[in-house]
A and B are shown apart, each in its own frame.
Chain A
Amino acid sequence: MIRFSHVVKEYPRTGLALNDVTFRVNKGEFAFLTGPSGAGKSTILRLVIVEETPTAGEVRVSGSLTSGLPRAEIPRLRRRIGVVFQDFRLLEDRTAEENVAFALEVTGAPREGIPARVSRLLTQVGLASKGTSYPKELSGGEQQRVAIARALVNDPVLLVADEPTGNLDDRATRGVFQLLRDINAAGTAVLMATHNLDLVKRNTYRVIEVNRGQLVFDSAEGDGGAATVTSSTPT
Protein backbone atom coordinates (compact mmCIF):
# COMPACT_ATOMS: atom_id res chain seq x y z
CA MET A 1 0.00 0.00 0.00
CA ILE A 2 2.78 2.39 1.04
CA ARG A 3 6.40 1.64 0.34
CA PHE A 4 9.27 3.97 1.27
CA SER A 5 12.68 2.86 -0.01
CA HIS A 6 15.71 4.79 1.24
CA VAL A 7 13.77 8.01 1.11
CA VAL A 8 15.64 11.27 1.56
CA LYS A 9 13.82 14.59 1.66
CA GLU A 10 15.76 17.80 1.78
CA TYR A 11 14.33 21.32 1.70
CA PRO A 12 16.40 24.19 0.33
CA ARG A 13 15.88 26.38 3.38
CA THR A 14 15.46 24.00 6.32
CA GLY A 15 17.74 21.22 5.17
CA LEU A 16 17.34 17.48 5.68
CA ALA A 17 13.85 16.44 6.82
CA LEU A 18 14.11 12.70 6.14
CA ASN A 19 17.23 10.62 5.82
CA ASP A 20 17.23 7.12 4.37
CA VAL A 21 13.76 6.13 5.56
CA THR A 22 12.56 2.69 4.52
CA PHE A 23 9.30 1.08 5.60
CA ARG A 24 6.19 -0.44 4.19
CA VAL A 25 2.53 -0.37 5.20
CA ASN A 26 0.52 -3.27 3.86
CA LYS A 27 -2.99 -3.42 2.51
CA GLY A 28 -5.55 -3.25 5.31
CA GLU A 29 -2.92 -2.54 7.96
CA PHE A 30 -3.24 0.05 10.78
CA ALA A 31 -0.01 1.83 11.71
CA PHE A 32 0.78 4.65 14.08
CA LEU A 33 3.44 7.11 13.01
CA THR A 34 4.99 8.67 16.08
CA GLY A 35 7.86 10.91 16.98
CA PRO A 36 8.49 14.35 18.46
CA SER A 37 7.60 17.58 16.69
CA GLY A 38 9.86 18.18 13.73
CA ALA A 39 10.83 14.52 13.55
CA GLY A 40 9.57 14.13 10.00
CA LYS A 41 6.06 12.70 10.49
CA SER A 42 4.34 15.38 8.47
CA THR A 43 6.96 15.12 5.74
CA ILE A 44 6.22 11.40 5.48
CA LEU A 45 2.48 12.11 5.21
CA ARG A 46 3.07 14.82 2.61
CA LEU A 47 5.12 12.35 0.59
CA VAL A 48 2.29 9.80 0.84
CA ILE A 49 -0.36 12.20 -0.39
CA VAL A 50 2.03 13.44 -3.12
CA GLU A 51 2.18 17.00 -1.88
CA GLU A 52 5.92 16.42 -2.08
CA THR A 53 8.23 14.05 -3.90
CA PRO A 54 11.41 12.61 -2.39
CA THR A 55 14.80 14.18 -3.04
CA ALA A 56 16.22 10.67 -3.30
CA GLY A 57 14.84 7.17 -2.90
CA GLU A 58 11.40 5.93 -3.87
CA VAL A 59 7.88 6.38 -2.54
CA ARG A 60 5.21 4.05 -3.86
CA VAL A 61 1.58 4.54 -2.92
CA SER A 62 -1.09 2.10 -4.03
CA GLY A 63 1.35 0.79 -6.60
CA SER A 64 2.23 4.17 -8.09
CA LEU A 65 5.74 5.58 -7.96
CA THR A 66 5.18 9.17 -6.86
CA SER A 67 8.40 10.61 -8.34
CA GLY A 68 7.81 11.47 -11.93
CA LEU A 69 4.09 10.80 -11.64
CA PRO A 70 2.46 12.96 -14.35
CA ARG A 71 0.69 15.95 -12.77
CA ALA A 72 -2.62 14.82 -14.23
CA GLU A 73 -2.27 11.45 -12.49
CA ILE A 74 -1.86 12.92 -8.99
CA PRO A 75 -5.59 13.70 -8.49
CA ARG A 76 -6.45 10.15 -9.54
CA LEU A 77 -4.04 8.75 -6.96
CA ARG A 78 -5.38 11.12 -4.28
CA ARG A 79 -8.88 9.83 -4.86
CA ARG A 80 -7.64 6.45 -3.62
CA ILE A 81 -6.32 8.09 -0.43
CA GLY A 82 -8.44 9.70 2.27
CA VAL A 83 -6.77 12.45 4.28
CA VAL A 84 -7.71 13.78 7.71
CA PHE A 85 -5.97 16.66 9.51
CA GLN A 86 -5.74 17.92 13.06
CA ASP A 87 -7.42 21.19 12.06
CA PHE A 88 -10.21 19.35 10.16
CA ARG A 89 -9.86 21.60 7.08
CA LEU A 90 -13.58 21.97 6.51
CA LEU A 91 -15.08 24.77 4.45
CA GLU A 92 -16.66 27.03 7.05
CA ASP A 93 -19.37 28.39 4.80
CA ARG A 94 -20.75 24.99 3.85
CA THR A 95 -22.80 22.60 5.90
CA ALA A 96 -21.55 19.16 6.94
CA GLU A 97 -23.46 17.64 4.02
CA GLU A 98 -22.07 20.18 1.58
CA ASN A 99 -18.51 19.61 2.80
CA VAL A 100 -18.84 15.89 2.17
CA ALA A 101 -20.70 16.36 -1.11
CA PHE A 102 -18.05 18.85 -2.28
CA ALA A 103 -15.42 16.09 -2.27
CA LEU A 104 -17.66 13.99 -4.50
CA GLU A 105 -18.56 16.87 -6.79
CA VAL A 106 -14.99 17.94 -7.47
CA THR A 107 -14.08 14.46 -8.54
CA GLY A 108 -16.89 14.44 -11.08
CA ALA A 109 -19.16 11.91 -9.37
CA PRO A 110 -22.65 11.62 -10.94
CA ARG A 111 -24.91 14.18 -9.25
CA GLU A 112 -27.88 11.88 -8.79
CA GLY A 113 -26.04 9.56 -6.44
CA ILE A 114 -24.41 12.23 -4.27
CA PRO A 115 -27.17 12.94 -1.65
CA ALA A 116 -27.66 9.26 -0.83
CA ARG A 117 -23.93 8.65 -0.57
CA VAL A 118 -23.43 11.72 1.66
CA SER A 119 -26.29 10.64 3.90
CA ARG A 120 -24.85 7.13 4.19
CA LEU A 121 -21.40 8.46 5.09
CA LEU A 122 -22.72 10.89 7.71
CA THR A 123 -24.68 8.01 9.23
CA GLN A 124 -21.52 5.89 9.23
CA VAL A 125 -19.63 8.55 11.21
CA GLY A 126 -22.58 9.07 13.57
CA LEU A 127 -23.69 12.46 12.32
CA ALA A 128 -26.91 11.61 10.50
CA SER A 129 -28.77 14.35 12.35
CA LYS A 130 -26.13 17.06 11.87
CA GLY A 131 -26.00 17.18 8.09
CA THR A 132 -27.32 20.71 7.84
CA SER A 133 -25.06 22.12 10.57
CA TYR A 134 -22.17 24.40 9.71
CA PRO A 135 -18.73 23.50 11.08
CA LYS A 136 -18.83 26.26 13.70
CA GLU A 137 -22.07 24.74 15.04
CA LEU A 138 -20.33 21.40 15.60
CA SER A 139 -17.96 20.27 18.36
CA GLY A 140 -14.34 19.44 17.52
CA GLY A 141 -15.08 15.73 17.55
CA GLU A 142 -18.06 16.21 15.26
CA GLN A 143 -16.03 18.33 12.86
CA GLN A 144 -13.39 15.62 12.70
CA ARG A 145 -16.11 13.08 11.95
CA VAL A 146 -17.28 15.24 9.04
CA ALA A 147 -13.67 15.39 7.84
CA ILE A 148 -13.47 11.59 8.09
CA ALA A 149 -16.74 11.20 6.20
CA ARG A 150 -15.29 13.46 3.50
CA ALA A 151 -12.09 11.39 3.43
CA LEU A 152 -14.17 8.26 2.81
CA VAL A 153 -16.27 9.51 -0.10
CA ASN A 154 -14.22 7.79 -2.76
CA ASP A 155 -13.87 4.49 -0.87
CA PRO A 156 -10.15 4.97 -0.34
CA VAL A 157 -7.80 2.05 0.03
CA LEU A 158 -5.71 4.12 2.42
CA LEU A 159 -6.61 6.70 5.07
CA VAL A 160 -3.87 9.08 6.12
CA ALA A 161 -4.55 10.91 9.38
CA ASP A 162 -2.28 13.68 10.61
CA GLU A 163 -2.86 14.12 14.37
CA PRO A 164 -6.61 13.56 13.95
CA THR A 165 -7.19 13.67 17.71
CA GLY A 166 -4.74 16.48 18.42
CA ASN A 167 -7.46 19.08 19.01
CA LEU A 168 -9.96 16.80 20.75
CA ASP A 169 -10.79 16.00 24.37
CA ASP A 170 -10.53 12.43 25.66
CA ARG A 171 -14.10 11.49 24.93
CA ALA A 172 -14.00 12.84 21.38
CA THR A 173 -10.58 11.22 20.89
CA ARG A 174 -11.98 7.83 21.82
CA GLY A 175 -14.92 8.28 19.49
CA VAL A 176 -12.81 9.37 16.52
CA PHE A 177 -10.24 6.64 17.13
CA GLN A 178 -12.97 4.02 17.29
CA LEU A 179 -14.24 5.32 13.97
CA LEU A 180 -10.76 4.94 12.45
CA ARG A 181 -10.59 1.38 13.82
CA ASP A 182 -13.95 0.57 12.25
CA ILE A 183 -12.80 1.96 8.94
CA ASN A 184 -9.67 -0.16 9.17
CA ALA A 185 -11.72 -3.21 10.11
CA ALA A 186 -13.68 -2.69 6.89
CA GLY A 187 -10.43 -3.12 4.94
CA THR A 188 -8.95 0.38 4.56
CA ALA A 189 -5.29 0.75 5.52
CA VAL A 190 -4.76 3.56 8.05
CA LEU A 191 -1.57 5.51 8.69
CA MET A 192 -2.10 7.75 11.68
CA ALA A 193 0.48 10.27 12.84
CA THR A 194 0.03 11.04 16.53
CA HIS A 195 1.63 12.48 19.63
CA ASN A 196 -0.87 10.69 21.85
CA LEU A 197 1.25 8.03 23.51
CA ASP A 198 -1.63 6.79 25.66
CA LEU A 199 -3.57 5.97 22.56
CA VAL A 200 -0.56 4.22 21.06
CA LYS A 201 0.15 2.21 24.21
CA ARG A 202 -3.46 1.16 24.72
CA ASN A 203 -3.52 -0.47 21.31
CA THR A 204 -1.55 -3.23 19.74
CA TYR A 205 -1.27 -1.72 16.31
CA ARG A 206 2.02 -1.36 14.54
CA VAL A 207 4.15 1.65 15.55
CA ILE A 208 6.59 3.41 13.24
CA GLU A 209 8.68 5.97 15.08
CA VAL A 210 10.76 8.67 13.47
CA ASN A 211 13.19 11.05 15.09
CA ARG A 212 15.34 13.72 13.47
CA GLY A 213 14.36 12.51 10.04
CA GLN A 214 15.27 8.89 10.62
CA LEU A 215 13.21 5.82 11.27
CA VAL A 216 14.25 4.81 14.77
CA PHE A 217 11.71 2.11 15.54
CA ASP A 218 9.29 -0.11 13.71
CA SER A 219 7.31 -2.57 15.83
CA ALA A 220 6.73 -4.74 12.77
CA GLU A 221 10.45 -5.42 12.68
CA GLY A 222 11.31 -5.23 16.41
CA ASP A 223 10.02 -7.49 19.14
CA GLY A 224 8.23 -5.10 21.40
CA GLY A 225 5.09 -3.60 19.93
CA ALA A 226 3.53 -0.40 21.14
CA ALA A 227 4.97 -0.58 24.66
CA THR A 228 8.51 -0.06 23.39
CA VAL A 229 7.80 3.42 22.04
CA THR A 230 10.06 5.69 24.04
CA SER A 231 11.00 8.96 22.52
CA SER A 232 7.67 10.49 21.57
CA THR A 233 6.81 13.54 23.57
CA PRO A 234 3.12 14.27 24.00
CA THR A 235 2.09 17.84 23.39
Chain B
Amino acid sequence: MRLTLREVMLGMRRSPLLSTLSVVTIAFSLFAFGLFGLLVLNVDRALRGVEEHVEIVAFLADGTLPESISAAMGDISAFPEVARVDQVSPEQALARARAELPEFQDVFDASFLPPSLEIRLKEGHRDPGTVKDVTQRIQTYPFVDDVRYGEDWVKKLYDIRNIAGAAGIALGLLFAAVAVIIIGTTIRMTVLARSREISIMRLVGATDGFVRLPFLIDGFLKGLVGGLLALLLTWGANWLISHNLIQTFFFDPGIAFLGVLGGGIIGLLGSALSVGRHLRRV
Protein backbone atom coordinates (compact mmCIF):
# COMPACT_ATOMS: atom_id res chain seq x y z
CA MET B 1 0.00 0.00 0.00
CA ARG B 2 2.91 2.34 0.77
CA LEU B 3 4.26 1.76 -2.70
CA THR B 4 0.81 2.38 -4.21
CA LEU B 5 0.44 5.67 -2.32
CA ARG B 6 3.95 6.68 -3.38
CA GLU B 7 2.98 6.01 -7.00
CA VAL B 8 -0.18 8.11 -6.55
CA MET B 9 1.83 11.02 -5.14
CA LEU B 10 4.49 10.63 -7.83
CA GLY B 11 1.84 10.63 -10.53
CA MET B 12 0.37 13.88 -9.21
CA ARG B 13 3.78 15.50 -8.78
CA ARG B 14 4.93 14.41 -12.20
CA SER B 15 2.05 16.01 -14.05
CA PRO B 16 0.72 18.80 -11.83
CA LEU B 17 -0.98 20.57 -14.72
CA LEU B 18 -2.89 17.48 -15.80
CA SER B 19 -3.81 16.71 -12.19
CA THR B 20 -5.08 20.26 -11.68
CA LEU B 21 -6.96 20.10 -14.96
CA SER B 22 -8.61 16.82 -13.89
CA VAL B 23 -9.68 18.24 -10.53
CA VAL B 24 -10.99 21.47 -12.11
CA THR B 25 -12.89 19.54 -14.81
CA ILE B 26 -14.45 17.27 -12.22
CA ALA B 27 -15.27 20.30 -10.05
CA PHE B 28 -16.99 22.20 -12.87
CA SER B 29 -18.89 19.13 -14.13
CA LEU B 30 -20.16 18.49 -10.62
CA PHE B 31 -20.80 22.22 -10.10
CA ALA B 32 -23.15 22.22 -13.11
CA PHE B 33 -24.82 19.12 -11.68
CA GLY B 34 -24.95 20.77 -8.25
CA LEU B 35 -26.61 23.92 -9.63
CA PHE B 36 -29.18 21.78 -11.34
CA GLY B 37 -29.70 19.84 -8.10
CA LEU B 38 -30.16 23.12 -6.27
CA LEU B 39 -32.81 24.18 -8.81
CA VAL B 40 -34.66 20.87 -8.44
CA LEU B 41 -34.45 21.09 -4.65
CA ASN B 42 -35.87 24.62 -4.55
CA VAL B 43 -38.64 23.96 -7.08
CA ASP B 44 -39.59 20.88 -5.08
CA ARG B 45 -39.61 22.86 -1.82
CA ALA B 46 -41.71 25.59 -3.42
CA LEU B 47 -44.22 23.08 -4.76
CA ARG B 48 -44.37 21.35 -1.39
CA GLY B 49 -45.06 24.72 0.20
CA VAL B 50 -47.94 25.31 -2.18
CA GLU B 51 -49.15 21.75 -1.71
CA GLU B 52 -49.46 22.28 2.02
CA HIS B 53 -52.34 24.60 1.22
CA VAL B 54 -54.37 21.79 -0.27
CA GLU B 55 -57.42 21.54 1.99
CA ILE B 56 -60.94 20.26 1.83
CA VAL B 57 -63.72 22.46 3.15
CA ALA B 58 -66.96 20.76 4.15
CA PHE B 59 -69.88 23.19 4.56
CA LEU B 60 -72.34 22.03 7.19
CA ALA B 61 -76.12 22.43 7.18
CA ASP B 62 -77.65 25.03 9.47
CA GLY B 63 -78.69 23.66 12.80
CA THR B 64 -76.24 20.74 12.82
CA LEU B 65 -75.87 19.59 16.39
CA PRO B 66 -72.48 20.24 17.99
CA GLU B 67 -72.35 16.57 19.09
CA SER B 68 -72.77 15.47 15.46
CA ILE B 69 -70.01 17.85 14.39
CA SER B 70 -67.68 16.56 17.12
CA ALA B 71 -68.40 12.95 16.20
CA ALA B 72 -67.77 13.68 12.51
CA MET B 73 -64.54 15.49 13.37
CA GLY B 74 -63.42 12.46 15.35
CA ASP B 75 -64.30 10.13 12.46
CA ILE B 76 -62.61 12.26 9.83
CA SER B 77 -59.49 12.75 11.98
CA ALA B 78 -59.19 8.98 12.08
CA PHE B 79 -58.99 8.74 8.26
CA PRO B 80 -55.44 7.60 7.49
CA GLU B 81 -55.04 10.41 4.93
CA VAL B 82 -56.12 13.22 7.23
CA ALA B 83 -53.60 15.33 9.16
CA ARG B 84 -56.03 17.57 11.02
CA VAL B 85 -59.62 18.77 11.09
CA ASP B 86 -60.61 22.26 12.25
CA GLN B 87 -64.07 23.58 12.81
CA VAL B 88 -64.74 27.08 11.47
CA SER B 89 -67.75 28.88 12.92
CA PRO B 90 -69.69 31.45 10.84
CA GLU B 91 -68.11 34.21 12.98
CA GLN B 92 -64.59 32.95 12.30
CA ALA B 93 -65.41 32.66 8.60
CA LEU B 94 -66.65 36.25 8.51
CA ALA B 95 -63.55 37.53 10.37
CA ARG B 96 -61.34 35.82 7.80
CA ALA B 97 -63.39 37.15 4.92
CA ARG B 98 -63.21 40.67 6.34
CA ALA B 99 -59.46 40.36 6.64
CA GLU B 100 -58.93 39.00 3.16
CA LEU B 101 -61.69 40.43 0.99
CA PRO B 102 -62.49 44.19 0.87
CA GLU B 103 -66.11 43.62 -0.17
CA PHE B 104 -66.77 42.09 3.27
CA GLN B 105 -65.60 45.21 5.12
CA ASP B 106 -69.15 46.38 5.73
CA VAL B 107 -70.63 43.01 6.63
CA PHE B 108 -71.12 42.38 10.33
CA ASP B 109 -73.75 39.64 10.44
CA ALA B 110 -72.25 36.18 10.11
CA SER B 111 -75.53 34.29 10.15
CA PHE B 112 -75.65 33.85 6.37
CA LEU B 113 -72.31 32.00 6.41
CA PRO B 114 -72.51 28.26 7.05
CA PRO B 115 -70.29 26.61 9.65
CA SER B 116 -67.63 24.44 8.07
CA LEU B 117 -64.89 21.87 8.69
CA GLU B 118 -61.44 22.43 7.22
CA ILE B 119 -59.59 19.22 6.55
CA ARG B 120 -55.85 19.14 5.88
CA LEU B 121 -54.29 16.05 4.43
CA LYS B 122 -51.02 14.37 5.28
CA GLU B 123 -48.02 14.70 3.00
CA GLY B 124 -48.16 12.07 0.31
CA HIS B 125 -51.98 12.11 0.29
CA ARG B 126 -52.51 15.40 -1.50
CA ASP B 127 -52.83 14.04 -5.03
CA PRO B 128 -56.09 14.68 -6.93
CA GLY B 129 -57.24 11.04 -6.59
CA THR B 130 -56.88 10.91 -2.80
CA VAL B 131 -58.36 14.38 -2.32
CA LYS B 132 -61.41 13.38 -4.37
CA ASP B 133 -61.74 10.09 -2.51
CA VAL B 134 -61.65 11.78 0.92
CA THR B 135 -64.10 14.42 -0.36
CA GLN B 136 -66.56 11.73 -1.42
CA ARG B 137 -66.37 10.06 1.98
CA ILE B 138 -67.04 13.37 3.72
CA GLN B 139 -70.00 13.99 1.46
CA THR B 140 -71.73 10.91 2.86
CA TYR B 141 -72.42 12.68 6.17
CA PRO B 142 -76.08 13.77 6.02
CA PHE B 143 -75.40 17.18 7.58
CA VAL B 144 -72.69 18.06 5.02
CA ASP B 145 -74.23 20.38 2.43
CA ASP B 146 -71.30 20.83 0.12
CA VAL B 147 -67.62 19.93 -0.08
CA ARG B 148 -65.03 21.96 -2.00
CA TYR B 149 -61.35 21.43 -2.54
CA GLY B 150 -60.41 23.42 -5.66
CA GLU B 151 -60.38 20.43 -7.99
CA ASP B 152 -58.79 22.30 -10.92
CA TRP B 153 -56.14 23.88 -8.73
CA VAL B 154 -55.11 20.58 -7.16
CA LYS B 155 -54.96 18.92 -10.57
CA LYS B 156 -52.82 21.71 -12.06
CA LEU B 157 -50.49 21.65 -9.08
CA TYR B 158 -50.00 17.94 -9.51
CA ASP B 159 -49.45 18.25 -13.22
CA ILE B 160 -46.72 20.84 -12.55
CA ARG B 161 -45.15 18.58 -9.92
CA ASN B 162 -45.18 15.58 -12.22
CA ILE B 163 -43.69 17.54 -15.11
CA ALA B 164 -41.06 19.08 -12.83
CA GLY B 165 -40.25 15.64 -11.39
CA ALA B 166 -39.93 13.98 -14.81
CA ALA B 167 -37.89 16.88 -16.21
CA GLY B 168 -35.72 16.77 -13.08
CA ILE B 169 -34.99 13.08 -13.49
CA ALA B 170 -34.36 13.33 -17.26
CA LEU B 171 -32.14 16.41 -17.03
CA GLY B 172 -30.43 15.04 -13.92
CA LEU B 173 -29.55 11.82 -15.74
CA LEU B 174 -28.34 13.86 -18.71
CA PHE B 175 -26.19 16.09 -16.51
CA ALA B 176 -24.82 13.06 -14.66
CA ALA B 177 -24.03 11.31 -17.96
CA VAL B 178 -22.26 14.41 -19.31
CA ALA B 179 -20.31 14.72 -16.03
CA VAL B 180 -19.27 11.06 -16.18
CA ILE B 181 -18.18 11.37 -19.83
CA ILE B 182 -16.16 14.55 -19.21
CA ILE B 183 -14.58 13.15 -16.06
CA GLY B 184 -13.90 9.79 -17.76
CA THR B 185 -12.19 11.58 -20.67
CA THR B 186 -10.05 13.67 -18.33
CA ILE B 187 -8.96 10.61 -16.39
CA ARG B 188 -8.26 8.82 -19.65
CA MET B 189 -5.81 11.61 -20.50
CA THR B 190 -3.99 10.85 -17.23
CA VAL B 191 -3.91 7.16 -18.09
CA LEU B 192 -2.60 7.85 -21.60
CA ALA B 193 0.04 10.24 -20.22
CA ARG B 194 1.30 7.34 -18.12
CA SER B 195 0.84 4.60 -20.69
CA ARG B 196 4.61 4.13 -21.05
CA GLU B 197 4.89 3.52 -17.33
CA ILE B 198 1.96 1.10 -17.46
CA SER B 199 3.57 -0.87 -20.29
CA ILE B 200 6.85 -1.04 -18.34
CA MET B 201 5.05 -2.17 -15.20
CA ARG B 202 3.36 -4.94 -17.14
CA LEU B 203 6.58 -6.00 -18.84
CA VAL B 204 8.34 -6.51 -15.54
CA GLY B 205 5.46 -8.64 -14.31
CA ALA B 206 3.19 -6.31 -12.36
CA THR B 207 -0.31 -7.72 -11.98
CA ASP B 208 -3.28 -5.84 -13.46
CA GLY B 209 -4.47 -5.14 -9.93
CA PHE B 210 -1.15 -3.58 -9.00
CA VAL B 211 -1.17 -1.40 -12.12
CA ARG B 212 -4.81 -0.41 -11.58
CA LEU B 213 -4.76 0.44 -7.87
CA PRO B 214 -2.78 3.74 -7.99
CA PHE B 215 -5.08 4.98 -10.76
CA LEU B 216 -8.19 4.06 -8.79
CA ILE B 217 -6.92 5.88 -5.70
CA ASP B 218 -5.83 8.81 -7.88
CA GLY B 219 -9.27 8.99 -9.54
CA PHE B 220 -11.08 8.70 -6.20
CA LEU B 221 -8.96 11.46 -4.58
CA LYS B 222 -9.34 13.78 -7.57
CA GLY B 223 -13.08 13.09 -7.59
CA LEU B 224 -13.31 13.90 -3.86
CA VAL B 225 -11.33 17.13 -4.22
CA GLY B 226 -13.35 18.03 -7.33
CA GLY B 227 -16.55 17.24 -5.40
CA LEU B 228 -15.46 19.47 -2.50
CA LEU B 229 -14.65 22.31 -4.89
CA ALA B 230 -18.00 21.83 -6.63
CA LEU B 231 -19.74 21.96 -3.24
CA LEU B 232 -17.95 25.21 -2.42
CA LEU B 233 -18.86 26.70 -5.80
CA THR B 234 -22.50 25.61 -5.44
CA TRP B 235 -22.63 27.01 -1.92
CA GLY B 236 -21.18 30.30 -3.21
CA ALA B 237 -23.72 30.45 -6.03
CA ASN B 238 -26.53 29.72 -3.57
CA TRP B 239 -25.26 32.43 -1.23
CA LEU B 240 -25.19 34.97 -4.08
CA ILE B 241 -28.72 34.07 -5.22
CA SER B 242 -30.06 34.08 -1.64
CA HIS B 243 -28.54 37.47 -0.88
CA ASN B 244 -29.33 39.18 -4.17
CA LEU B 245 -32.35 37.52 -5.77
CA ILE B 246 -34.62 35.16 -3.85
CA GLN B 247 -34.38 33.15 -0.69
CA THR B 248 -33.25 29.64 -1.61
CA PHE B 249 -32.56 26.45 0.28
CA PHE B 250 -29.20 24.67 0.24
CA PHE B 251 -28.58 20.94 0.42
CA ASP B 252 -28.65 19.50 3.92
CA PRO B 253 -25.28 18.16 5.17
CA GLY B 254 -26.16 14.55 4.36
CA ILE B 255 -26.90 15.35 0.71
CA ALA B 256 -23.80 17.57 0.49
CA PHE B 257 -21.67 14.72 1.86
CA LEU B 258 -23.24 12.30 -0.62
CA GLY B 259 -22.48 14.76 -3.44
CA VAL B 260 -18.80 14.93 -2.51
CA LEU B 261 -18.66 11.17 -2.10
CA GLY B 262 -20.41 10.89 -5.48
CA GLY B 263 -17.54 12.91 -6.98
CA GLY B 264 -15.10 10.42 -5.52
CA ILE B 265 -17.10 7.48 -6.86
CA ILE B 266 -17.37 9.03 -10.34
CA GLY B 267 -13.58 9.58 -10.26
CA LEU B 268 -13.08 5.98 -9.17
CA LEU B 269 -15.39 4.60 -11.86
CA GLY B 270 -13.89 6.86 -14.54
CA SER B 271 -10.44 5.60 -13.60
CA ALA B 272 -11.53 1.98 -13.45
CA LEU B 273 -13.08 2.22 -16.93
CA SER B 274 -10.14 4.08 -18.46
CA VAL B 275 -7.44 1.85 -16.96
CA GLY B 276 -9.46 -1.28 -17.64
CA ARG B 277 -9.85 -0.34 -21.29
CA HIS B 278 -6.17 0.56 -21.52
CA LEU B 279 -5.04 -2.69 -19.87
CA ARG B 280 -7.18 -4.74 -22.20
CA ARG B 281 -5.53 -3.06 -25.17
CA VAL B 282 -1.87 -3.33 -24.11
A-to-B contact residues, CB < 8 Å = 49, 51, 71-72, 75-76, 78-79, 83, 89, 91, 93, 102-103, 105-108, 150, 153-154
* 7 A-B interface contacts by CB (under 8 A): A71-B208, A75-B202, A89-B196, A102-B204, A106-B205, A106-B206, A154-B204
Considering only CB atoms, which chain A residue lies closest to B3 in the complex? A105
Q: Which of A72, A89, A108 contacts B203 (CB 8 A)?
A: A89
A153 to B3, CA, bound (A): 18
Say yes or no for B200: interface residue by CB 8 A criterion.
yes
By a CB distance below 8 angstroms, the chain B residues around A154 are 204-205
List of B residues within 8 angstroms of A78 by Cβ: 202-205
Interface of B is mostly: helix
Complex CA distance for A155 and B80, rounded to whole angstroms: 78
Encode B165-204 as 1/0 by CB contact (under 8 A) with A: 0000000000000000000000000000000110111111
Cα A91 to Cα B202 in complex, Å, equals 13
A106 to chain B: which residues have CB within 8 Å? Answer: 3, 201, 204-206, 210
- Determine whether the beta carbon of A75 is less than 8 Å from that of B197: no
Chain B residues closer than 8 Å to A79, beta-carbon distance: 204-205
A89 to B200 Cα, complex, angstroms: 7
How distant is the Cα of A90 from the Cα of B225 in the complex, in angstroms? 32
Contact partners of B205 in chain A: CB under 8 A: 75-76, 78-79, 103, 106-107, 154
Kindly list chain B residues whose C-beta atoms are within 8 Å of the C-beta of A153.
204
Give every chain A residue within 8 A of B14 (Cβ-Cβ): 93
Complex Cα–Cα for A103 and B10 (A):
16
- A41 CB to nearest chain B CB (Å): 17
Beyond A103-B204, A154-B204, 12 additional pairs, beta carbon < 8 A: A75-B202, A75-B208, A83-B204, A89-B199, A89-B200, A91-B196, A106-B204, A106-B205, A106-B210, A107-B205, A107-B206, A108-B210
